[in-house]
Amino acid sequence: MTSLLELKDIECRYEDRPAVSGLSMHVNEGSIICLLGPSGCGKTTVLRAIAGFEPIYNGQIILGGKVIASPTSSLPPHKRNIGMVFQDYALFPHMTVCQNVSFGLRGLSRLAMKTIAEDILGVVGLAGFGDRYPHELSGGQQQRVALARALAPNPDIILLDEPFSNLDIDLRERLSLEVRTILKGQGITGILVTHDQNEAFAIGDQIGVMYEGRIMQWDTPYNLYHDPANRFVADFIGQGVFLPGELIAPDTIKTEVGSITGDRAYEWPQGSKVDLLLRPDDILPDSDSHLIARVINKAFKGAEIMYTLQLPTGRRILSMFPSHHDHNLGDDVAIRIDAPHMVAFPHEA
Ligand code: ADP
Ligand code: MG
């Protein structure tokens, strides 16, 4: 696979304050990547830099082997062949759906524009909606029109800035999967930014977790969850708690609930204070175990129940049990810690 887009060590600033620094990434043709991070971490700024609306003060942006932005040069947005979909749809209210979708098509006959618009409306599941006005459509339908408008000029890359955050949660999940199918079906390269990890997991082949203008880890959803590179990613992705302990062998950590041996070796000196990441799925119900914890809270999730359990030491942990393990608040349950894919970081107070 060839790298279609490459960002090399880019920096963006507002006034004198950096909003994005030392950011590098490359996007292969046909892949869909996500930038995931909390509000204010610089996601929109990166998209605006790629689209050509934000200057870069360091580094380079390379599209199809050509430098399109550097501190001394910038290809104007309309020459980049990049499509963009915004959170607030930004449809033109006085134009029909068909007119909205064909808005970005230049130099074509009226009939050619209409044909392309109708084709692309079919792709996004809105065949026959061309004569309606945006206010006659639901939020999800409006967002599909916005997607169709961005796809119509046949861009090399499509950028999506939190495109589903105004939609309710069911629709959000359905539409994220649908958008993935559409982009993959059209072979279009996509970059989506979001603060919602479920959305990122549903759409992204690869995800870059961002924090304060930098990428903290580039990885697959599976690795971000099971093998976070640092504490920020461990905290931000999924749920879990840190259990303090002491490294007594490269692969073994002594904790308040006993020694836990994993499948990786740490090179820190023996006796180092560490924090072991325990995910809710690392804690299993086990009636043969001598480790007893008390149910403090429970949240029914359908197939599973998320329990907050209190250990004999008073520390609270989260555990996800299959939902037929139905316990009441105050019950004592026997548990086993099963965390072979051990993840630990140097202890922090
Ligand atoms: P995100 O999209 O991840 O929420 P943004 O890229 O919008 O983050 O913003 C990154 C940082 O830059 C934030 O601290 C934000 O306040 C600041 N910022 C964004 N746009 C502007 C602007 N036009 N002028 C000044 N500061 C801005
Ligand atoms: Mg934003």
User: Would the pTM of this model clear 0.95, i.e. be above it?
Assistant: no
Give the orientation angle of helix 139-151 with respect to helix 169-186, to 10 degrees. Answer: 20
Taking the C-alpha atoms of residue 106 and residue 118, their distance in angstroms, rounded to an integer, is 16
Strand order across the 316-322 sheet = 283-285, 332-337, 291-300, 304-310, 316-322
Tell me, what's the pLDDT at 70?
98
Phi, psi of 255 (to 5 degrees): -130, 180
pLDDT at 74 over 90: yes
Tell me, what's the pLDDT at 341?
84
**Looking at 5-19, 142-156, 165-179, 264-278, which range is the least confident one?**
165-179
Tell me, what's the pLDDT at 311?
94
Count Cα neighbours of 322 within 13 Å in the Cβ-side half-sphere. Answer: 4
State the ligand closest to the CA atom of 19.
1
Buried b or exposed e, range 179-208, using 16+ CB within 10 angstroms: bbebbeeeebbbbbbbbbbebbbbbbbbbb
pLDDT at 278 over 80: yes
Q: Report CA 251 to chain centroid distance, whole Å.
A: 31
Mean of the pLDDT values across residues 81-93? 88
| 47 CA from centroid of ligand 2 (Å) | 9
Residues with CB under 6 A from ligand 1: 14, 19, 37, 39-45
Q: Tell me what the pLDDT averaged over the chain comes to.
A: 93
Nearest residue by C-alpha to atom 19 in ligand 1: 45
Nearest residue by C-alpha to atom 12 in ligand 1: 19
Nearest residue by C-alpha to atom 1 in ligand 1: 40
State the ligand closest to the CA atom of 162.
2
Q: Which CATH class is domain 240-346?
A: mainly beta
Nearest ligand 1 atom to alpha carbon 48: 6
Query: Where do the structural domains in the chain lie, given as residue ranges?
Result: 3-235, 240-346
Task: Say if CB 291 and CB 277 are below 8 A apart.
Answer: no
State the ligand closest to the CA atom of 87.
2
State the ligand closest to the CA atom of 163.
2
Residue pLDDT, tens place only, 164-189:
888 888 788 888 888 999 999 989 99
Percent of residues in the chain assigned helix, strand, coil, to nearest 5:
25, 35, 40
Tell me, what's the pLDDT at 1?
60
The domain made up of 3-235 has a fold known as Rossmann fold (3.40.50)
Taking the C-alpha atoms of residue 84 and residue 144, their distance in angstroms, rounded to an integer, is 13
Question: Any residues with CB less than 8 A from the CB of 274 and at least 6 apart, and which?
Answer: 244, 245, 246, 247, 253, 266, 268, 344, 345, 346, 347
Taking the C-alpha atoms of residue 276 and residue 229, their distance in angstroms, rounded to an integer, is 13
Ligand 1: residue of 41, 159, 194, 216 to mutate (most ligand atoms within 8 A of CB) is: 41
Nearest ligand 1 atom to alpha carbon 39: 4
Nearest ligand 1 atom to alpha carbon 15: 25
Tell me, what's the pLDDT at 120?
92
Mean of the pLDDT values across residues 54-61? 97
| 232 CA from centroid of ligand 1 (Å) | 20
Mean of the pLDDT values across residues 219-242? 94
What residues flank ion ligand 2 with Cβ within 5 A? 44
Residue pLDDT, tens place only, 252-263:
999 998 899 999
